[in-house]
Amino acid sequence: MRRIKRDDNVRVMTGRDRGKQGQVRQVITEKDRVVVTGVNTVKRHMKARSINQPAGIIELDAPLHISNVRLVCPHCGKAVRVGFRFQANGAKARYCKGCDQDID
Ligand SMILES: [Zn+2]
């Protein structure tokens, strides 16, 4: 089970985009990386591939290492550390180490 899931809101803790916040669009499990909308954007020069894809510069959101982002807790709104615990029904769920609320 991962600390970060798709559609989570995360904050970037290191690097060029430190402090930026965005929604996780993709989790690349095997590489421990996440793609966050609008974060770590790089420009790529593309050759024309078809009429629908003309040549030009496009912006891509490059993956970030999962350790460089922190979940923004939906309860307290802070970039927090996430723990795991079992709920009453036996399901494992994430919880916020800041405000101690279950996240899912
Ligand atoms: Zn919290």
pLDDT for res 38? 94
Does residue 1 surpass a pLDDT of 80?
Answer: no
pLDDT for res 49? 83
State the number of CA atoms in the 13 A half-sphere of 102 facing the CB: 8
Q: Is 19 left (phi over 0), alpha (psi -120 to 50) or beta?
A: left
Residues with CB under 5 A from ligand 1 (ion): 73, 75-76, 96, 98-99
pLDDT for res 89? 92
Confidence at 72, pLDDT banded by 50, 70, 90? very high
Work out the end-to-end distance of the chain between its first and last CA atoms, rounded to an integer number of angstroms: 12
User: Which amino acid belongs to residue 13?
Assistant: M
Going from the Cα of 27 to the center of ligand 1, the distance in angstroms, rounded, reads: 22
pLDDT for res 14? 93
- For the stretch 11-57, pLDDT in tens is 999 988 999 999 999 999 999 999 999 999 999 898 888 888 889 99
Looking at every residue in the chain, the average pLDDT score rounds to: 94
Going from the Cα of 75 to the center of ligand 1, the distance in angstroms, rounded, reads: 5
Q: Is 26 left (phi over 0), alpha (psi -120 to 50) or beta?
A: beta
Going from the Cα of 101 to the center of ligand 1, the distance in angstroms, rounded, reads: 6
